[in-house]
Amino acid sequence: MKVGVVTFPGSNCDYDAYAVMKHVLHEEVEFLWHKSTDLAGSDLVILPGGFSYGDYLRAGAIARFSPIMEAVTKFANSGGLLMGICNGFQMLTESGLLPGALVRNSGIRFRSQSVYLTVENTETTFTNYYRPQEVLKIPIAHSEGNYYNFNGDIKRLEDDGLVLFRYCDQQGNVTKEANPNGSINNIAGIINKEGNIMGMMPHPERAAEKILGSDDGLKVFESVRAALTTRLQRTTAGKI
Partner 1 sequence: MAAAKQKAVVYVRLKDGVLDPQGLTIQKALSQMGYKEFVSVRAGRFFELEIESNGRNIDELINQVCSKLLANPVIESYKVEKVK
Q: Which residues pair with 45 in a beta bridge?
A: 4, 82
CA-wise closest residue to 227 among 103, 127, 101, 78: 127
Q: Does 105 bind partner 1 (CB under 8 A)?
A: yes
**86 belongs to the catalytic site:** yes
Q: In this chain, which of 45, 63, 71, 103 binds partner 1, going by CB under 8 A?
A: 103
| 179 belongs to the binding site for partner 1 (CB under 8 A) | no
222 is catalytic: no
Judged by CB under 8 A, which stretch of 35-43, 121-129, 142-150, 211-219 contacts partner 1? Answer: 142-150
CB of 108 vs partner 1, minimal distance in Å: 5
34 part of the active site? no
182 forms part of the interface with partner 1 (CB under 8 A): yes
Q: Shortest approach of partner 1 to residue 235 CB, angstroms?
A: 35
CB of residue 61 to partner 1, shortest distance in Å: 7
Residue 93 to residue 91: CA distance in whole angstroms: 6
107 near partner 1, judged by CB under 8 A: yes
Q: Point out which span in 17-25, 43-51, 98-106, 120-128 binds partner 1 (CB under 8 A).
A: 98-106
Catalytic residue among 86, 120, 142, 144: 86
Rounded to a whole number of angstroms, the minimum distance from the CB of residue 149 to partner 1 is: 7
The CA-based dihedral angle spanning residues 95, 98, 104, 106, taken in that order and rounded to the nearest 10 degrees: 170
What residues are annotated to the active site?
86, 203, 205
Residues that bind partner 1 (CB under 8 A): 57-58, 61-62, 65, 93-94, 100-101, 103-108, 146, 148-149, 182
